[in-house]
Each structure stands twice: as structure tokens, then as C-alpha cells.
Amino acid sequence: MNNHIKTVIAATGSYIPEIVISNDDFLNSRFLEKDGTPIVKDNATIIEKFREIAGIEERRYAQPEQNASTLGYLAAKNALESSGIDAETLDYIIVAHNFGDVAHGSNRTDMVPSLGSRIKYLLGIRNPDCVAYDLPFGCPGWVQGVIQADYFIKSGDAKRCLVIGTETLSRVVDPHDRDTMLYSDGGGAVILEAATNSEQGILAHKTQTYSLEHATLLTMHNPVYDCGGEKNDIFLTMNGRKLYEFALSNVPLVVKMALEKAGVHLSEIKKVLIHQANDKMDHAILQRLFKLYGMENNDIYSIMPMTISWLGNSSVATVPTLLDLVLKGQIANHQINKGDKVVFASVGAGMNINALVYQF
């Protein structure tokens, strides 16, 4: 590894789908308990309780003709066009996702060829030395893709990498499951470059996988709900309470490990860009992190920009989309300046957790 080389962010991009689904769109849904019986509470009460916890008022869905590879391509195109970078100079295209392309009206995954190959094709890249591959790693997939790119760049194997997070979660959920309201579609991308003797760049990162006791907190299952589909259909299911407890116990510790590897104190961090999973959970994670340092922060949202209220949880797309919007001045009261140290963090299926410290 070349310690004089830093991995720096050269460009960002995102694609926010055009179809807006508000909470009111679920008022006529038929929500069921896991045993298939109707939920006793009326939908208005269910939806309001959901909004209070998750912080979601609306979310975005892809157009019927769009797939995850389409959203990833559009996010990558945005990053390339906004920066003027030649796509032929990319050494790697790393695409984080969980379900591949899922056609509208279906919940069947399609991953042949890989989304990386599909996006390279859509970008019109001829260079065979541009290696395109996929990374299924749960919601932390995009952050893990950045970590992999960092290794490629610091080893001298690459000078420029495109890392994409893209997903269409709206197509793999049971409409009778309340958790369906969490999920959305989207795409985000970043272009990373090698820089010599730069103060900017990735300072450190840390990843952990807790499979033995927690692998089944997020899984694909035959429906325990009355899905109304084929008997062999499977849908995304979540043990929300245990996942919440797991995240609060473990994510702050992983962030602290990354900060310690970087030699950076929490007091130096200007922003924390965390996976947009659940507003209440993300807020609690940050509070726990401050407590680990014996600090208090009565205004968590000043350091933690959020998009979940209007974009929902689009899995691997949440963090790169958030980064792109902040850097392009599209998140009110949030900006990142030169010299700022920022933490990226995510938690999700696996259960996987990762955190990355970056100086702009």
C-alpha cells in the first residue's frame, strides 16, 4: 500500500425517481399482522405512528420502464457530466445493490449480466480494462464499495473508480406489510480518484459483520402475509425491533473504531452522513455515539443531514444521494467546506456495519 496516495472524491451524482408516493397513498392499503389477521387499528392511526417513528412523509418510486440498472446509470451519468470526467478513464465500476433488476409488476431478481456490466454498456464504455462488477452487501453496500475502491487505489491497481448504489425496493415488498412504507427507489454515485500527498481523502474505515446471531433480522421469505401473489413469491421481511436494538448497540462502536483508526476525535467531525433507515433510529445512534465520547449534542440534526422524510429508505442509494445533494447545496442548512472531516456510516442486512472517515 502506498501511504502517500489518498483516495479523493472527484465527483458525485444521483438520480431521484419522479413518482412521489405520499403516506396518504397507503390509506386504502390492507395491512395484516404476521399471522395473516387484519391489524385492528385503522390505517390513519397506523400511518401516523409510522411517520412519528420513521420520519417518512413521502418516498420515490421508479417509473415502470426503469430498473435498478437504469437508476444507477442515470446517477453515474450525472456524476460524469457534472464533472466532465471521461468515462473511458474509469478503472473500476462497482455497483452496490441487493436485488438486481426487478421488472415492474414482478418481484423476481435479474442479475445476469451483472448490473455493473449493464451500466457500463449504458454508459457506452469501450475500454476493456474498465472492470465492472456487483457488490451485494445489504444497505451498507455503497460504503463498502467505496472501501474496496480505496484499496484498489492505494495499492496502485486503479487511479479512478466509479462506485454506485442503486435499488428498487418498492418491487420486493409485500403490500400488506406495514414496513412497505419504509422502502423506496433511487440511485447515487461517486467517482473516486488517486491523489498524491493530499490532505483531502479517505482517512480510515472499519467494517464488521454480525452473522451468527443476527443474519436473520432482514431476510427474503415466503409471505406470512396474504400477498395475493404466487405461492413461491418471496418478499423482504424485517424484525424491526431487534434490528433497532442491534443498530443502537453496535453502530456507534464501529464509528468510534473508524475515528480512532483515523486519529480523529468526534469533536472534529462536521457532518455524519448515515444510511437513511429510520429517523428515530439514526438520531438515537448519534446520541449513543456522543455518549461514548462523554459528550452531549442537543441539536443532532445540525451535524446529521437527513433526506428520509421525502426520499424514504432506498437502501444502498441513501448515502451517495445524500452526499450529492449536500455537496450541490440542495439540503437546507447543510454544507461541507474544504477541510471538513465527515463520517459515512451504514448498517443493514447481514448484519453488516461500516463507517468511513473522510476529509474534504
Predicted confidence (pLDDT) per residue in 80-94, tens digit: 999 999 999 999 999
Spatial distance between the Cα atoms of 132 and 130, rounded to a whole number of angstroms: 6
Claim to verify: residue 183 and residue 303 sit in the same structural domain:
no
Predicted confidence (pLDDT) per residue in 297-332, tens digit: 989 999 999 999 999 999 999 999 999 999 999 999
What percent of the chain has pLDDT above 70?
A: 96
**pLDDT band at residue 52 using 50, 70 and 90 as cut-offs:** very high
Identify the residue with better confidence: 216 or 164: 164
Q: In this predicted structure, what is the pLDDT of residue 228? A: 53
Claim to verify: residue 251 and residue 219 sit in the same structural domain:
yes
Claim to verify: residue 216 and residue 237 sit in the same structural domain:
yes
| pLDDT at position 245 over 70 | yes
Claim to verify: residue 252 and residue 330 sit in the same structural domain:
yes
Claim to verify: residue 76 and residue 35 sit in the same structural domain:
yes
How many separate domains does the chain show? 2
Claim to verify: residue 108 and residue 214 sit in the same structural domain:
no
Claim to verify: residue 195 and residue 218 sit in the same structural domain:
no
| pLDDT at position 4 over 90 | no
Spatial distance between the Cα atoms of 156 and 3, rounded to a whole number of angstroms: 11
How much is the pTM? 0.94
Last residue within a domain, chosen from 171, 199, 227: 199
What percent of the chain has pLDDT above 90?
A: 80
Claim to verify: residue 116 and residue 216 sit in the same structural domain:
no
Residue 248 identity: L
Claim to verify: residue 194 and residue 206 sit in the same structural domain:
no
Mean pLDDT of the chain: 93
Last residue within a domain, chosen from 199, 215, 245: 199
Q: In this predicted structure, what is the pLDDT of residue 40? A: 82
124: left (phi over 0), alpha (psi -120 to 50) or beta: left
**pLDDT band at residue 280 using 50, 70 and 90 as cut-offs:** very high
End-to-end CA distance of the chain: 22
Claim to verify: residue 228 and residue 349 sit in the same structural domain:
yes
**Cβ partners under 8 Å of residue 130, min gap 6:** 87, 88, 90, 91, 92, 93, 120
Spatial distance between the Cα atoms of 345 and 99, rounded to a whole number of angstroms: 21
DSSP assigned state of 268: G
Claim to verify: residue 290 and residue 229 sit in the same structural domain:
yes
Last residue within a domain, chosen from 138, 169, 199: 199
Q: Element (H or E) spanning 70, and its range?
A: helix 68-83
* Chain Cα centroid distance, residue 187: 9
Cell of 62: 421508479
236: left (phi over 0), alpha (psi -120 to 50) or beta: beta
Q: In this predicted structure, what is the pLDDT of residue 216? A: 82
CATH classification at residue 334: 3.40.47.10
Claim to verify: residue 189 and residue 280 sit in the same structural domain:
no
- Contact by Cβ (8 Å): 202, 6: yes
Domain that includes residue 70, residue range = 5-199
Predicted confidence (pLDDT) per residue in 196-212, tens digit: 989 999 999 999 999 98
Spatial distance between the Cα atoms of 268 and 255, rounded to a whole number of angstroms: 14
